[in-house]
């Protein structure tokens, strides 16, 4: 399928590189509206920007906090994110914990912009990101914890990404003995 744009609209798009547009299709009285990317497709980030991840010793030696990445993307788009923690002990093997409890996590919808997540910007211009914590870890069990974030970038079509979150101060996991 192809469509034609007027010269003034084409110049505006050319000046921006890529734009996310809406196209309405009408047939037999029904209308379907879809989003399309006009211009080169933006690259899906391999590593998210800003300091984020699983902070292994914050605020105490047996606690962790997951700080979500400050999704910086061009052009601005909706990002759905589902956070997970996986932990391992020799006695239980691998277990999964989501924001809704064992084996259950919910999706969070944010708006990624070139300056970061729009919902996290405060009036003073600082960033206050989404956090999950404190996460208490019982000592003496040889526990290892890894954080994983699933993300769907909603450009002209959904782009699914599954990434480990960095762990601080150790990497790629937090170790609790």
Q: Where are the domains of the chain?
A: 7-38, 53-176
pLDDT at 86: 92
Tokens representing 131 are: 């956090």
Strand partners, 144: 88, 175
Spatial contact of 64 and 131, defined as CB atoms under 8 Å apart: no
Nearest of 66, 51, 73 to residue 118 by alpha carbon: 73
- What DSSP designation does 72 have? B
- Cα separation, 114 vs 76, in Å, equals 7
- Cα separation, 160 vs 142, in Å, equals 33
CATH topology of domain 53-176: Immunoglobulin-like (2.60.40)
Strand partners, 161: 151
pLDDT at 27: 87
Contacts of 52 (CB under 8 A, 6+ apart): 67, 68, 69, 70, 129, 165, 166
Give the CB-side neighbour count of residue 2, counting CA atoms within 13 A.
1
pLDDT at 46: 46
Place of tokens 């509206």: 33
For all residues of the chain together, what is the average pLDDT? 82
pLDDT at 25: 79
Nearest of 155, 137, 158, 139 to residue 147 by alpha carbon: 137
Tokens representing 50 are: 């800003």
Please state the rounded mean pLDDT for residues 83-98: 93
Taking the whole predicted model, whether its pTM rises above 0.75 is answered as no
């Amino acid at each position: 399928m192809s469509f034609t744009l007027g010269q003034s609209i084409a110049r505006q798009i050319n000046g921006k590189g890529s734009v996310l547009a809406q196209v309405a299709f009408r047939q037999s009285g029904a209308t379907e509206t879809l989003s399309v990317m006009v211009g080169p497709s933006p690259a899906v980030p391999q590593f998210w920007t800003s300091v984020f991840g699983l902070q292994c010793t914050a605020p105490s030696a047996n606690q962790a906090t997951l700080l979500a990445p400050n999704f910086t993307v061009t052009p601005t788009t909706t990002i759905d994110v589902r956070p997970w923690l996986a932990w391992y002990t020799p006695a239980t093997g691998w277990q999964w914990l989501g924001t809704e409890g064992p084996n259950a996590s919910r999706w969070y919808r944010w708006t990624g912009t070139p300056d970061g997540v729009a919902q996290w910007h405060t009036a003073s211009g600082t960033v206050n990101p989404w956090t999950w914590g404190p996460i208490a870890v019982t000592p003496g069990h040889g526990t290892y914890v890894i954080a994983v974030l699933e993300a769907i970038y909603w450009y002209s079509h959904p782009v699914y990404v599954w990434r480990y979150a960095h762990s601080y101060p150790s990497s790629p996991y937090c170790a609790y003995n």
